[in-house]
Structures are given as structure tokens and as C-alpha cells.
A and B are shown apart, each in its own frame.
Chain A
Amino acid sequence: DAGVIQSPRHEVTEMGQEVTLRCKPISGHDYLFWYRQTMMRGLELLIYFNNNVPIDDSGMPEDRFSAKMPNASFSTLKIQPSEPRDSAVYFCASTPTGGGEKLFFGSGTQLSVL
């Protein structure tokens, strides 16, 4: 079984550019989460989906961030325009159900905005 697949692994871009991060959850998993990890703020939940529907986006920092899940096997997190303070590791995670099921994490995307 392939795990959660994120792409790209590393992204370096210039301030003002659009950035799109991609995630393929584990097949059959109904929940998909996007997290951001920084030294200052730790692991922050940005948004999560259940059955492709966004349930809670209260962690999305501002309107420059948007996330979509057009189908059960694909999600994107877009930043437009990007800023240096968006530099972080972005993790995608999926889980089959709610409750006590653990989250399976992707390898993360290291984003650097210059």
C-alpha cells in the first residue's frame, strides 16, 4: 500500500508567486488534513476535509491560502501570492474514519519563499 503522497518534496519560489502543493491520500480514507509546521508555531491544522467536503478551515491563515479536494484521491493547497513568512513544512495526512483512528502523514513539502 502506498502511503500518503505529497508533491513536490521541496519548493523554492519568490515572493508574490503562486504555489500549489499536492496530496494524494491513502485509498479509502475519508478524512484529509493539511498541517503547517514551523519552529515558532509548531504543527498547525490549516483545514480538513471529510468525504471531499471542507469541514473546518478556521486554521487557514488568510485569504491567500485556499484548499480544494475535487475528488477522493486528490487535494491541493494553494498560496497566492506567497510571502516569506509562508516558508514552512506542509504536511498532508489522511485517516479512514473519525474517532480513534490515527492519521497517516505524508512526507511533507518543504516550502521556501524568498
Chain B
Amino acid sequence: AQKITQTQPGMFVQEKEAVTLDCTYDTSDQSYGLFWYKQPSSGEMIFLIYQGSYDEQNATEGRYSLNFQKARKSANLVISASQLGDSAMYFCAMREGATDKLIFGTGTRLQVFP
């Protein structure tokens, strides 16, 4: 069963605009963590943001915020004030407390245009 679903293969956004990248997940664990990673064309995996299942506040890291809706099992990434350097693949991932595995979604390719 697919544990992490990213339904947007590609997204476009204009520079300086905000963009939301969707992620839904499926788990029966009460304790889990949700992560977003960025992979630019150079190939490295860059950690962006983390949300724990017991965290009541949405996580924020600079221009990145995670819109965590536990009942809907969604963990959308919001990038504010997009920059050209934000063009990359973005992966949502989940780490279940019971297994410690980190499982990735299929990714969303974001392109920021001037």
C-alpha cells in the first residue's frame, strides 16, 4: 500500500509567489514524523523541514512551512516568496515510530519562472 502520496508530478510558480506542494500519508502508528527534502538538479538531498505527529504547531523554517492536518493525513509544504533557486524536485517522506524507516513519495518537480 502506498504510504506517501504526492499527486502533483509537476508545478509551476512565478517568482515571489507562494506555492503549495501536496502530500498525503497513511499510517496506523500514533507516533511518526513527516519530512520534506529538496533535490536540485545536482542530485543532492537537502532536508527542508520536519513535523512530528504530536506537534500541535505547524513547523516553519524560513520560507518553508508545513501545513499539517492530522485528521486528513496531509502534510503540505508551503514555500513563500518563491525564488528561481527553488526549482527542484521536492520529496515528502514519513518515518514511522514503530519501524524507523523513512519512506519517500514520488516527488513533485517545481519550476519557478521569472
Which residues from chain A sit less than 8 Å from chain B, CB to CB? 31, 33, 35, 42-43, 45, 48, 50, 55-56, 89, 91, 93, 98-100, 102-105, 107-108
Contacts and interface: CB of A to CB of B under 8 A. Distances in A.
Interface of B: 31, 33, 35, 43-45, 47, 50, 52, 91, 95, 97, 99-107
A102 B47 contact: yes
B99 A56 contact: yes
Contact of A99 (B33, B43, B91): B33
Nearest to B53: A100
A103 B33 contact: no
Given A42-B106, A43-B91, A55 B100 contact: yes
A55 B106 CA distance: 24
Contacts of A43: 91, 104, 107
Nearest to B101: A45
Contacts of B104: 35, 42-43, 45
A103 B47 contact: yes
B16 to A, nearest CB: 28
20 contacts: A31-B100, A43-B104, A45-B104, A50-B100, A89-B43, A93-B45, A93-B102, A98-B97, A98-B100, A99-B52, A99-B95, A100-B52, A100-B95, A102-B35, A102-B47, A103-B45, A103-B102, A105-B45, A107-B43, A107-B44
